[in-house]
Structure 1
């Protein structure tokens, strides 16, 4: 069979969507109202079971890449095991649905639909569990980044995100030197990115306690006059540097001018309130 690993994210979303909607429709069908929900639920649960088979295959094809990440192996194995459990339960529910269609509106068919609803509730819980474990691999271990396309730029994006969030966490933890070092590395990797330039200036103010240097960098940084986002960011950093340099009046005057120019900016309003 072909390698289905790159399709894993798409397939698992089909399992989640088809499964949860199918379970809901099956429960509604038991009320005897909206007769169309009976066959609709059966169709969705059968399709969901089929999708779960593909999801397990695609997950198996891609798990080696995630397992190579230091510390991620157990998380990947847990996700894989729960994926198998979920597939098996869904296949059982699909079997009940097929039998329910065969027996139709007879008493046996109604019993089968109740059994399917019960199995569906279990399957729904399993779907949520395996989805949560998959989210752990992505959001806690960055599993899969760069493996779908094979594009080195995807890995660069991962490193940039790591530097950005690492600097923020270090700053919030009182590790100013580490925050400055990570921001410097980010600036080294993306020297022409305006957002990164702003981050480097902010780090100079907050981590290095060098407001004068930040003001010099801001004076040299030109932003388009027709770009409100960049203009506000430039103005807020300038006001922050002025305040840190002991020029609170100048900072306040600048913020008032920004508030006049951009009256809807929440960031400008918040900065002004802090100086009052």
Structure 2
């Protein structure tokens, strides 16, 4: 006959085994939803097709993980899709929807689209206010999509420009790093070019506001009409009809 201590020991081990089994089942139930290899491949293809980086660019797609708090019903067919207004550039997302299963669901999967191409980088640390010279920049492969500001690719577009932000050595030089150019001052005579479908009309007017690069400006014509457009060159403004 087994002693009470022996029986207690056996009962304890059985109870512990049961608890561990339940804990394992709970962990599996709470595990974040995994992505099927076929669906992941479709996500990559959608990201590659939608990025449209231009000739000579190299694209890398990093597929993230679904939110670990999601509890998705079983699904026989998952369809990746691009949410309206989404740009497949940098950190973005792709939709996943169940089109064949017990219940329909729609979730979003984080993805990062990296677009590598040749662009200008700082040859050495560059301080705020520095007027760029040709030897301040060099060409290297950069991720065009890592910043929302456009990467500068041509030396002639940056030489002679002043920096509005500091740039580290090897860092991609962006439009946002440069101080906006002033194409004309308020009161100056400006050539105004109105662009339409297959035609253009030019006239002159007096600038009511400074013509800063990337910012709308206003020009008053001889007839007294006030036009708003974008400064694009020395004493020149364009607007679309």
TM over 0.5: same fold? no
Bigger share in strand: 2
Q: Give the number of the structure whose alpha-carbon radius of gyration is greater.
A: 2
TM-score of the pair, normalised by structure 2: 0.26
Which structure shows the higher helix fraction?
1
TM normalised by structure 1 equals 0.23
